[in-house]
Amino acid sequence: MGTAVSYPSLVPLLAVLSSTAAIPLILLSRRHPNLREFWTIAAAVAKFCLILSLLPGTLAGRNAVIRVLTVFPGVDIALRADPLGVLFALIASGLWILTSFYSIGYVRGAREHKQTRYFASFALCLSATIGVAFAANLLTFVLFYEILTIATYPLVVHKETPVSIDAGRKYLVYTLSAGVFLIAGTLYTYHLCGPLDFTAGGLIPSGVLTARSALALFAFLMLGVGVKAAIMPLHSWLPAAMAAPTPVSALLHAVAVVKSGVFGVIRMVGFVFGPGILRQFSLQQILIPAAAITIIAASLIALKQDNLKRRLAYSTVAHLSYIVLGASLLTPRALTGALAHILFHATMKITLFFAAGAIYVNLHKENISEMNGIGRTMPWTMGAFAVGAVGLAGIPPVNGFISKWYLVWGSLDGGLWVPVAVLVLSGLLNVAYFFPIVYIAFFRKGGKELDRKGEAPLTMVIPLVLTALLSLILGFYPDFPLAFFKLIDRISTGVMGGLS
């Protein structure tokens, strides 16, 4: 693939700041909802276009870089649009456009209060997420990772009910505690290695670590990112955060916040430690069982949930650990599967959350046991839900099949059969907790409350149909429309050093 070269560019910084710049415009337009939402959509489109402009150079091995501030010798606040960062930024910014349209229908249909604060907080969260994506080093990563934590809090507590306030407190306790470990790990890395720039294959020089220091550093950094990655037993903030409005659950808990966690796991595994050091000290043997246990335990808990959003939340906990597992297997195909699942899980899970929100706004139903017959009333919504459910179970032709295939293939490359068994069992559990929802929606008779009901507003239905359609298209053409698999191949090759 060749060695990547860097070139100076303002675009990564502009991509971070574009939605931040919209915040005062959103606040000033609070008495004019249409104008307020215009600024939201405009910022989302501008952010995506800026990030998209980086794609050709990244695919050609040229990474845009900007150094904003020197903090101390050898360590800057800096942004770099490397392949992993561009992949994550494209996913988050692209889905923000659809979520912005969906949010308009949701907050108006549900008559949510403090809608201006909602849209302003969303914009700040997306700025922080793109900062996480483009962080060139550990210090910059920590800065934006913690900004994301704080910026998300108003969205978690948005409804201001006792349940949402408690969920917000729990969210802060977990994520801010994780931040302390992440900061400690960053300082320890600087003490051991000096420069903190992310490097494909690992930034830590050979011979620097002892067994004890390697374990300590691994513990600090993995605890730091493991909370947002919802690795058990660090996961319980995520189901609690379902008290937030559904669009928040859809993007921030299916894409931005939790995906920042697994993105952080891949940064630590592939760009801080590297496969060589992980194998030298057998550190992957800590992550593999943790991910496997999380996948099965979360899936079993999901089976017991009657509340639809909580079932989706535990499904997310399980699927996040697909990514952790793929990264920890240390084979190129497993890493490819992990990276692909960041994208594919995002399109499938956001579809399911969008569907849950449409059901709530239109029918005021939150529990699965109340959803008999809703597929006949809301066929587009539940048809899209069925597509996401099939994909998350790993059944072709939806895109989830491809990432699971690579994860299984990568496990076999490493001669590991237990992860294969975990992935197969997880697929069966996905069928067990998703397919009954589809069945009762389409094949059981609903109550009289469904009479004269139809679909949710088009601003909600169109985005969820588009994300379901994207999940299907990516199942046939995984490089559509933005050469995602070329980016994934470049990342995997860089981290694994061209191993097959």
DSSP calls for 86-114? HHHHHHHHHHHHHHHHHHHHHHHHTT-S-
Rounded Cα gap, residues 320 and 314, in angstroms:
10
- pLDDT for residue 500 is more than 70: no
Average model confidence (pLDDT) across the chain: 94
Confidence of residue 2 (pLDDT cuts 50, 70, 90): low
- For 164-169, which contacts have Cβ atoms below 8 Å and span 24 or more sequence positions? 164/243, 164/244, 166/240, 166/243, 167/237, 167/240, 167/241, 167/242, 167/243, 167/244
* Lookup: tokens for 490: 């470049």
Chain-centroid distance, C-alpha 130:
12
CA separation, residue 65 to residues 58, 81, 85, 235, 411 (Å): 11, 7, 12, 34, 35
Segment 379-393 shows an average pLDDT of 98
Segment 296-321 shows an average pLDDT of 97
- Which residue type is seen at 53? S
Confidence of residue 20 (pLDDT cuts 50, 70, 90): very high
Beta bridge partners of 79: 66, 135
Q: Which of 187-201, 247-261, 288-302, 317-331 has the lowest mean pLDDT?
A: 247-261
CB 106 within 8 A of CB 460: yes
- pLDDT for residue 333 is more than 90: yes
Rounded Cα gap, residues 358 and 90, in angstroms:
25
- Please write the tens of the pLDDT for every residue from 48-97: 999 999 999 999 999 999 999 988 877 899 999 999 999 999 999 999 99
- Please write the tens of the pLDDT for every residue from 116-129: 999 999 999 999 99
CA separation, residue 116 to residues 100, 128, 253, 257 (Å): 13, 19, 21, 21
Rounded Cα gap, residues 133 and 141, in angstroms:
8
- pLDDT for residue 499 is more than 70: no
CB 81 within 8 A of CB 52: no
pLDDT given for residue 254 in this prediction: 73
Neighbours of 265 (CB within 10 A): 27
Rounded Cα gap, residues 445 and 396, in angstroms:
29
Higher pLDDT, 297 or 248: 297
Share of the chain above pLDDT 90, in %: 88
CB 201 within 8 A of CB 275: yes
pLDDT given for residue 1 in this prediction: 44
Rounded Cα gap, residues 334 and 323, in angstroms:
9
Rounded Cα gap, residues 409 and 184, in angstroms:
36
484-496 vs 332-363: helix crossing angle, rounded to 10:
140
Of 363, 384, 387, the C-alpha closest to 373 is 363
Please classify residue 157 by burial: count the beta carbons closer than 10 Å to its beta carbon, then call 0-12 exposed, 13-18 middle and 19+ buried. buried
Most trustworthy range by pLDDT among 63-77, 242-256, 423-437:
423-437
Write the DSSP string, 268-322. Answer: IIIIIIHHHHHHHTTTHHHHHHHHHHHHHHHHHHHHT--BHHHHHHHHHHHHHHH
First vs last C-alpha separation in the chain: 14
> H or E segment at 218?
helix 211-226
Segment 343-356 shows an average pLDDT of 96
Q: List, in sequence order, the alpha helices (H) in 304-373.
A: 308-328, 332-363
- Which residue type is seen at 86? V
Segment 441-467 shows an average pLDDT of 92
Segment 463-477 shows an average pLDDT of 96
pLDDT given for residue 113 in this prediction: 84
Q: 3-class SS at 497? A: coil
Give the CB-side neighbour count of residue 387, counting CA atoms within 13 A.
Answer: 28
Of 258, 244, 257, 233, the C-alpha closest to 163 is 244
Segment 224-250 shows an average pLDDT of 92
Rounded Cα gap, residues 233 and 329, in angstroms:
21
Segment 366-394 shows an average pLDDT of 97
Rounded Cα gap, residues 42 and 44, in angstroms:
5
Confidence of residue 481 (pLDDT cuts 50, 70, 90): confident
Segment 327-338 shows an average pLDDT of 97
Give the CB-side neighbour count of residue 167, counting CA atoms within 13 A.
Answer: 23
- Which residue type is seen at 419? P
- pLDDT for residue 425 is more than 60: yes
Please classify residue 207 by burial: count the beta carbons closer than 10 Å to its beta carbon, then call 0-12 exposed, 13-18 middle and 19+ buried. exposed
- pLDDT for residue 253 is more than 80: no
